[in-house]
Amino acid sequence: MKKKLSYIDSVHRDGRIWNLFVMVILILFPVAVMLIFRAGIDWRGFIQGFLATAPMFWAVGVIETFTYVPMLGAGGSYLAFVTGNITNLKAPAALNALELAGADIKTEEGEIVSTIAIGVSSIVTTLIIVLGVILITPLTPVLNSPVLAPAFDQILPALFGGLGVVYIARNWKIAIAPVLLMLILFIAIPSLGSVVSIMVPVGVVFTLVVSRILYKKNLL
């Protein structure tokens, strides 16, 4: 009799299958374009571009895996890495859901809550994109209005500010050091905004080091 897989084992099985499936689909798109338009591959240009960008994406991929999996759980991570936009949408959605449910990501309950939150976020995002594609032409004059420009500039700060207050208020002594570090870095080097994924684990490591020092000094 075949042994029934546990929840977490089934998550890993299905997650690997669907991630490989999506990877194949992504690779097939340029192949399909090449076949439809009968355009050959400029292998020299491809190799040059690949060597210039692949190491960065490999590094980011490894860093994000170690950073986000402990935060999102196995099921949430598989889903988030397929649907993308983890930092801006998936991680905040999962963390907020865990906070509201009072669940720990290290438990099966936390795994389920995180996965559901990321799944709902993915569905809502897809629906909004479809709606945006349909309405982009009639709404363009409104969206480009100078009156709305300041509001659009503050969407992300408002999102992360609302989420950040909850966690900062919970343990403000730990939060001071990483917040100051990131403020100084991003003000001094604005270009870091293009490599946020790399700065997240930097902030995590820095926070752990500072927290350890504060703990040793009996300040926590």
pLDDT tens for each residue of 185-207: 888 888 877 766 677 778 888 88
CA distances from 21 to 73, 82, 183 (A): 21, 10, 40
Q: Select from 104, 101, 71 the least CA-distant residue to 86.
A: 71
Q: What is the pLDDT of residue 206?
A: 87
38: tokens are 């009968």
3-state secondary structure (DSSP) of residue 216 = helix
172: tokens are 């403000």
Q: What is the pLDDT of residue 127?
A: 93
The residues, ordered by sequence, that sit 6+ positions from 114 with a Cβ below 8 Å of its Cβ are: 72, 73, 75, 76, 94, 97, 98, 105
**Are the beta carbons of 114 and 98 closer than 8 angstroms?**
yes
Q: What is the pLDDT of residue 2?
A: 61
CB burial string 3-20: b at 16+ within 10 A, e below: eeeeeeeebeeebeeeee
**Are the beta carbons of 90 and 75 closer than 8 angstroms?**
no
List pLDDT tens digits, range 149-173.
788 778 777 777 776 776 677 778 8
The vertex-81 CA angle with 163 and 70, nearest 5°, equals: 60
CA dihedral in degrees (198, 165, 174, 117; nearest 10)? Answer: -60
Q: What's the alpha-carbon Rg for the chain, to the nearest Å?
A: 21
CA distances from 88 to 16, 61, 117, 157, 218 (A): 24, 16, 14, 10, 35
Look up the pTM and report it.
Answer: 0.66
pLDDT tens-place values along the chain, 220 residues long: 567 778 888 888 989 998 899 989 988 988 898 889 988 888 888 888 888 777 777 777 787 888 888 889 999 999 998 888 887 788 888 988 998 898 888 888 999 999 999 999 999 989 988 998 898 888 888 878 888 878 877 877 777 777 677 667 777 888 888 888 888 988 888 887 776 667 777 888 888 888 888 888 888 7
Q: How far apart, in whole angstroms, are the C-alpha atoms of residue 72 and residue 157?
A: 22
**Are the beta carbons of 77 and 68 closer than 8 angstroms?**
yes
Q: What is the pLDDT of residue 119?
A: 92
Q: What is the pLDDT of residue 117?
A: 94
**Are the beta carbons of 75 and 16 closer than 8 angstroms?**
no
